[in-house]
Amino acid sequence: MLSDRGVPELTGDHLRLQPLDVADAAALLDTVDDEVWRWKLAPRPRTVAEMGQVISEHLLEDPDHQAAFLAIRLSDGLVLGSTTLYDYDPYHQRVEMGWTWLRRASWGQGFNEEMKYLLLQYCFGDLRVERVAWRLDALNNHSREALERMGFHYEGRLRSHLRRPDGSRRDSLYFSLLVSEWPAAREHLLELIKARSPAA
């Protein structure tokens, strides 16, 4: 179980992923605007208390099967956003990745790719899963294009899968990566990180 292992700290060349805590609510709130939060399955938090509620009720709700991270830029310590592993199933050796966002000023600079790289190393290494999956709102073209650019495999659409905060129904698109595909995906992600990082 993730709670038995403890949530690790993962460090790359440009960012660090550290265990998320409710005490991070103020710093995390600063990363959010309407566009960043547009596709989340909870109303946009507008106060520190509301962000704390999102963290406790959505990101830390199931520590046995879930691990949430705070993303911090190494160059200056700025909090960039968050990402979460959830629905961890050690028997079936699978996990999903989601509740991911980055402050808009950091988009397109390789941070999303490095975040995925660090988490996938952890999933396929320490957790020894066979499959990592992502699901997203079918209307979320930004995330779909990012997953396709990173080489993850589209699996299909679940119709009327989840309820959005406004009450409308959403279709969910599923993507995945298997452990057998990780070596090639790892090299591809490293190339993307290098090409898209601010230093490039």
Q: CATH code at 148?
A: 3.40.630.30
What is the Cα 129 distance to its own chain's centre? 17
Break the chain down into helix, strand, coil percent, rounded to 5: 35, 30, 35
- How high is the pLDDT of residue 6? 81
Confirm if 93 and 128 have CB atoms less than 8 A apart.
yes
Query: What range defines the domain where residue 136 resides?
Result: 2-196
Average pLDDT of adjacent 10-residue blocks, the chain of 200 residues: 77 97 98 97 98 97 94 98 97 97 97 98 97 98 96 97 97 98 97 87
pTM, two decimals, is 0.95
Structurally, the chain folds into a number of domains equal to 1
- How high is the pLDDT of residue 198? 78
- How high is the pLDDT of residue 101? 98
Confirm if 22 and 60 have CB atoms less than 8 A apart.
yes
- How high is the pLDDT of residue 3? 55
- Ranges of H-type helices in the chain: 2-5, 25-29, 34-37, 48-54, 111-124, 141-149, 182-196
- How high is the pLDDT of residue 199? 72
**Cα–Cα dist 35/141, whole Å:** 12
**CA 142 vs CA 37, 107, 110, 149, 163: distances in Å:** 12, 11, 15, 11, 20
- How high is the pLDDT of residue 122? 97
194 residue type, one letter: K
